[in-house]
Chain A
Amino acid sequence: MIEIRNVSKWYGDFQVLKDITEEVKQGQTVVVCGPSGSGKSTLLRCINGLEPFQKGEIIVDGVSVSDPSTNLYKLRTEIGMVFQRFELYPHMSALQNITLAPVKVRNKSKKEAEAKAMELLERVGIPEKAREYPANLSGGQQQRVAIARSLAMEPKIMMFDEPTSALDPEMIKEVLDVMIDLSKGGMTMIVVTHEMGFAREVADEIIFMDEGRIIERGTDISFFQNPKSPRTKDFLDKILM
C-alpha cells in the first residue's frame, strides 16, 4: 500500500531524513517512535506530499508521490491525517468541519455529507457534539472529531502524528480506543506515537527513528527488551520508565 524507498530529505544543509526504506501493506498498522526531531512527522508529511523530498521514491497505492504528473490533491483524498494539535477549523462546528471536504472535493450533497458525518460522530462516540464549535470541546473530543473529519473522505490510509501527545492523560484512552477500533477494522495505518500500550495491542511493525534514520525495527515490542543501539535503550528507558 505504501512503499518508501531510500528516501532522503534536506532542509538546506540539514538532513532530516536519511535513506528511509519501509513498506506498509494493506490493513497493517505501523507504529513509528523516536525522540523529537528524529524526522517522524516529516516522514508522514512526505508520504502525502505536504513536503517534498530530494531523493528516493514513495509509492502510495501504486502512485509515485514525487512524480510531477501526480495529482497530489487527489492522492491526499486517499490518505487521512490526524495532527497532534487537532487542527480543527475553529470557525466551524464539528459537523461543518467534517462535511467541508466531502462537499467541496467529492461533490457530495450537503444532506448526504451530514448523514455520513453523523454516522462517523456516532462511531467516535460523540454524536451529541455535532453542533458544537471546537472551542467548546475537550481535547479528546476535538481529536475524535478530527479523526471523523479524516474518515469522512473514506481514505484508504490513515496517518496519525502524535495524536495523543497534546491530551490530558484521562482523555488519551478515548482517542486510542477509536484508533484501536480502526486498526482492527482493517484500516492501513501509520501512527507516530509513544503509547506503547497501543503499539503492543495493534502494531504489525514498530520502527524506531533517531536523527533521520530508522535504527530499529521489529514486528512486536521484542526489540524493546533487547535494543541494538544504546540510543534506543536510553530512549526506551525514558518513555517506558
Chain B
Amino acid sequence: MTFQLAAFALAGGFLLGIITGLGRLSTRKWIFYPATLYVNFFRSLPLILVIFWFYFMVPLIIGRPLGDFLSAIVAFIAFEASYFAEIFRGGIQSIPQGQVMAAYSTGLGYYDTMRHIVLPQALRNMVPPIVTQCVIIFQDTSLAYVIGLKEFLRRTSLVDARELRSLELYLFAGFVYLVFCSIGTIASRRLEKRGFKR
C-alpha cells in the first residue's frame, strides 16, 4: 500500500508538476497566474490538511464517497505536483537562454525545443532535488494514516494494538523507512555521476 501510494503520488505529481512548472514560466498571463496560484497555495499548506480536505470535501462536491485510497492518491498528486513544479521551474531556468535561442534560430518550435534541448539538460540538473522529493513522498505516505488508510505505519500500529510491543515495532518501522530511503539516495548518486560523464 505504501509503495502503491508513493508510486502514484510520484508519477502523477511528476507529470502534473511538469505542466504546472512550464505554466510558471509562461509569458502568457492566463497561464502564469493560475499556475503560480496553484503552486503557492499548496506549498503553504501542510500535507495532512490537504489529505483531510480531499477526504472530506471532494465527496461533498461530487456527491459520492471517493474511497480512502483514491482520495489519498488525489491529495498526494495535487500536493506533490506543486513541489515538483518548483523543481522543474528551477531546472529549466538553469538552462542558459542562449540554448533556447539557438534552437529557435534553427526553426525549432516550442515543443521540440523543450523536448530535445531544454528538458534533457534540465532533468540532469534536477536529479538531486527530484530524488530528495521522492524520499520525502515515501515518508509522507505515512500521513495517509489519518484517514484510516492501511499503509505501512497504520499497519504497524494495528499490529502494536494486538501485540503491545511498541518499542520493537516502531523501531522496525523506522528501519524499513531508513533502508528504502537510503537505497533511493544511493541510486541518485549513481545516476548523477553517470549523467556528468555523458
- Residues of chain A at the chain B interface (Cβ within 8 Å): 45, 48, 50, 73-74, 76-77, 79-81, 83, 85, 87-91, 100-101, 104-105, 133, 135, 146, 149-150, 152-153
Q: How far is the CB of B78 from chain A (nearest CB, A)?
A: 32
Residues of chain A within 8 A (CB-CB) of B103 are: 89, 101
User: B104–A89 contact, CB under 8 A?
Assistant: no
Q: List 20 A-B contacts (CB under 8 A).
A: A73-B107, A77-B107, A80-B106, A83-B102, A85-B96, A87-B96, A87-B98, A87-B99, A88-B102, A89-B102, A89-B116, A90-B121, A101-B108, A104-B112, A105-B107, A105-B109, A150-B105, A152-B106, A153-B106, A153-B107
Is the beta-carbon distance between B101 and A150 smaller than 8 angstroms? no
Residues of B within 8 A of A77 (CB): 106-107
CB distance from A81 to the nearest CB of B (A): 4
Question: Does B127 reach chain A (CB closer than 8 Å)?
Answer: no
A101 and B112 alpha carbons, distance in the complex (Å): 9
**CB of B198 within 8 Å of the partner chain:** yes
Contacts of A83 in B (CB 8 A): 98, 101-102
Which of B106, B107, B121 makes the CB contact (< 8 A) with A74?
Answer: B107
Give 12 A-B pairs besides A50-B105, A76-B106 with Cβ atoms closer than 8 angstroms. Answer: A73-B104, A73-B109, A87-B96, A87-B98, A87-B101, A89-B117, A90-B198, A91-B198, A104-B116, A133-B198, A135-B198, A149-B106
* Residues on B with beta carbons closer than 8 Å to the beta carbon of A135: 198
Residues of B within 8 A of A79 (CB): 105
